[in-house]
Structure 1
Amino acid sequence: MKRRSLSRLALCGLLTAGTGLLGACGSPTVEQTQAGAGPAAGFPVSVDNCGYQQTFDRPPSRVLILQGASVGEVETFVSLGLGDRIVANTQFYGVSDIPGMADKVAAVSKGDLALNAAADVPAEQALSLRPDLVVSTWSGGFDPKFGFASREMLHQAGIRTLVNPVNCAYGKSRNVTPAEEQAYRAGSTESTMAFAELIGQVFGVPDRATDLVGQLRGRIDAVRAKVAGREPKRMLIAFPDMSVMNANGLPAVFSGTIYDSVVRAAGGDPSFPDGGWDLTGNLSAEQLAAAQVDVLVLGAYRPGEDLDAEAAKLFAAYPQWNASKTKTYVKVSDGVYLGPANADAIEKIARVAHPGAF
């Protein structure tokens, strides 16, 4: 992939991070520009994010959202009415469980960026954009070994950084705390709410975050109430288009953390509880054949996938599943990942799994 040449500003940022030669750069940093204007109303706001202390004197206005194979962060910004604060977004699936969300995400500025070999924004491009905030779904988005700008490098250039709090331990190269490790292992729909509240705080719109969280939690709790007392259905979340993630060429099967949280909220039990990434990468055809599956939850990662045909293939391959005998499946996309689409996916799944409850 052809990489852009370093702009003068990007070179300044790299020099600053590497040598501390702030005086070598003629233009003021984002931090200096903000400091000269004084704090905005309701600010400063201080946050501890993954052990990284930062103070915001005003709401960020030039946000870069790193890719990280996620879409939950940009969808949170859109849901909070903050899409216009994004100068460059690299998160995009083209599908969503939230009606109209894919089009809204597509309309957010992409910043004319070229991703590097690690499928995200290289350091020089991040610096050349002159954002005042860079957001990553995981700590690894700031790891220089992948060609990314570190949090320290961005701080030296006056740029604030945030990691989705549930993923502090994911990709963090050092100083992972027990609390961060526990938060990562216990990820759930509540982690979606926590990120929305963090963004509401940092951008000075806590009321919007409270409203969004209240609506999402209310919808999820309403589903839980409707399916309460009913026999849980065994559910398998599979993404056929992600078969590259499995060493045996099977559909990617996701289990644990947020996935199990979505399944349980919809009145189900996961076919492979707490499976984690080892299951996704190493699941065998024999294990899949032996799974108890009452409801097949098929995920779309990109537009145009024929999930009806994929369901037929899996039912033919595994006729012993209860789901194969009853032809019970539901189509989802981003709602089984972290992000505001959780409520939509839970509603979809529960209606198929427990039609008598609705």
Structure 2
Amino acid sequence: MNLSRSSLLCAALLVAVTACGDDTNDASTTATPTTVAATAAAPDTTTPATTGLDTTVPDTVEHGGERTQYPLTIDNCGRQVTFEKAPERVVILNGTSVAEVESFIALGIEDRILANSQMYGVSDVDGMLEQIMAIPNGGMTLNENYEVPREQVLALQPDLVVSTWSGGFSSEMGLATRDELAEAGINSYVTPVNCAFGVTDPRPEDVAKNENQTYEASFELLEELGLIFDVQHEAGHVIEHAREAIAAIQPPASGGDVHVLLAYPGMSMMDQTGVPGVFAGPFTDSIIEAAGGVNAFPDFATFNDSSNISAEALAAADVDVLVIGLFMDGEDAAAYAAQIFAMYPQWDAAKSGTYTTVAESAYLGPHNAIAIQRIADAIATLG
């Protein structure tokens, strides 16, 4: 998850298997360094209206088989990056994301990863945690800003360093800058939708892309990685399969608006205000709308704005379906749902007990179709 509302989520993430980088380039945390490691765990399976969406890529999908021509030069956040060949020694930085490492796995290029620092506590994809844990971490540890320090990255001698956000190359956070890496002959890459995240003077077009991102940003990442690593054919398969799965989802039979609330209770520790970590903004809207619903909080311009959602606003909201987000091993979705429904018994979702669960598929990454399908299945139970 590479969302700039990390000030809200960071306290929870400290006890998870990934951790936070600050929204800005100013380090302000005093936590001790954390070793990059995690324990695999299966996601909760006791809740209703969940589905095991098929995430395999069918051989029947047809698309172009273009090959990358090297040297390849791309524009990444306004920076020209040239690849003489497909990278073979990749370091993936943390950034509280799994979008990048899961995209590498989806494209079948995880063998190009020299060291990975991304991990999550649960997954919507069977076997994903085990696949991520099988990737070397290069002995990397996270510094007090929950990123891989400059010296460790340089010592690994990668040919490419990938960060989910521009802040992953912040000197103020003790990290190797893109210029420092270039001087050492190392390329760097930021996930395109997050170019504006973590810098003080982003380009207007990068700000617009970050603030208006939808699940299409997940496909953009896959497409560009496919180009860089000469796996465009595989990227086309993954993207087209996801699009087909999303297109096959049936709209709700009711014909009316079904209001869906996505919340990650563990990320807010269900504080005394009774407000779980509510997700809103264009990306979340796009997931819910693709499932046939509307966001219970549809008018937020960016994800950051949803940090202002109060207990009073939740009490006044129309919620037909509750989506419980999980991110840590051992979280109890049924207990979370019961707790939230007890706080807001006026919701139609509370009266009908309608909820489902998601993990990482509800934000940037290659598996958004799973979250969309699960939400659609929950909506379908309403008749």
Deviation, 1:339, is 0.4
Q: Percent identity?
A: 45
2:274–2:343 CA contact under 8 A, matched in 1: no
Aligned to 1:260: 285
Change (3 A) 1:44 1:259: same
Q: Deviations over 1:173-218 (max 9, x none)?
A: 32x2222111111111110000000000000111111111111111
In structure 2, how many angstroms separate the alpha carbons of the residues matched to 1:117 and 1:271? 36
Q: Secondary structure at the match of 1:54?
A: strand
2:227 aligned with 1:191: no
1:341 to 367, 371, 374: 367
2:197–2:210 CA contact under 8 A, matched in 1: yes
Q: Which structure has more RCO (C-alpha within 8 Å, separation ≥ 6)? A: 2
Counterpart residue identity of residue 78, structure 1: I
Q: Secondary structure at the match of 2:162?
A: strand
In structure 2, how many angstroms separate the alpha carbons of the residues matched to 1:105 and 1:62? 16
In structure 2, how many angstroms separate the alpha carbons of the residues matched to 1:115 and 1:355? 44
Deviation, 1:283, is 2.4
Q: What aligned pairs does 1:89-168 form with structure 2 within 5 A after superposition? A: 89-168=116-195
Structure with the higher helix share, 1 or 2? 1
Aligned to 1:286: 312
In structure 2, how many angstroms separate the alpha carbons of the residues matched to 1:304 and 1:156? 44
1:243–1:249 CA contact under 8 A, matched in 2: no
State the superposition RMSD in angstroms.
2.2
Computing the radius of gyration over CA atoms, which structure comes out larger, 1 or 2?
1
TM-score by length of 2: 0.79
In structure 2, how many angstroms separate the alpha carbons of the residues matched to 1:273 and 1:324? 20
Q: Deviations over 1:86-110 (max 9, x none)?
A: 1111111131112222221121111
In structure 2, how many angstroms separate the alpha carbons of the residues matched to 1:325 and 1:3? 43
Aligned to 1:352: 378
Q: Secondary structure at the match of 2:141?
A: coil
Change (3 A) 1:156 1:274: farther
1:49 to 76, 97, 105: 76
1:60–1:85 CA contact under 8 A, matched in 2: yes
Structure 1 residue runs of 5 or longer lacking an equivalent are 5-39
Q: Deviations over 1:287-321 (max 9, x none)?
A: 11111111001000112100101000010110001
1:218 to 244, 256, 265: 244
In structure 2, how many angstroms separate the alpha carbons of the residues matched to 1:123 and 1:228? 54
Q: Deviations over 1:58-91 (max 9, x none)?
A: 1111111111111111000000001111111111
2:281–2:306 CA contact under 8 A, matched in 1: no
Change (3 A) 1:56 1:101: same
Q: Deviations over 1:19-77 (max 9, x none)?
A: xxxxxxxxxxxxxxxxxxxxx98311110011010110111111111111111110000
2:95 aligned with 1:68: yes
Counterpart residue identity of residue 290, structure 1: A
Aligned to 1:28: none
1:248–1:282 CA contact under 8 A, matched in 2: no
Q: What aligned pairs does 1:300-339 form with structure 2 within 5 A after superposition? A: 300-339=326-365
Deviation, 1:160, is 0.6
TM-score by length of 1: 0.84
Q: Secondary structure at the match of 2:142?
A: coil
2:200 aligned with 1:173: yes
Deviation, 1:172, is 2.1
Change (3 A) 1:308 1:2: closer
Change (3 A) 1:83 1:272: same
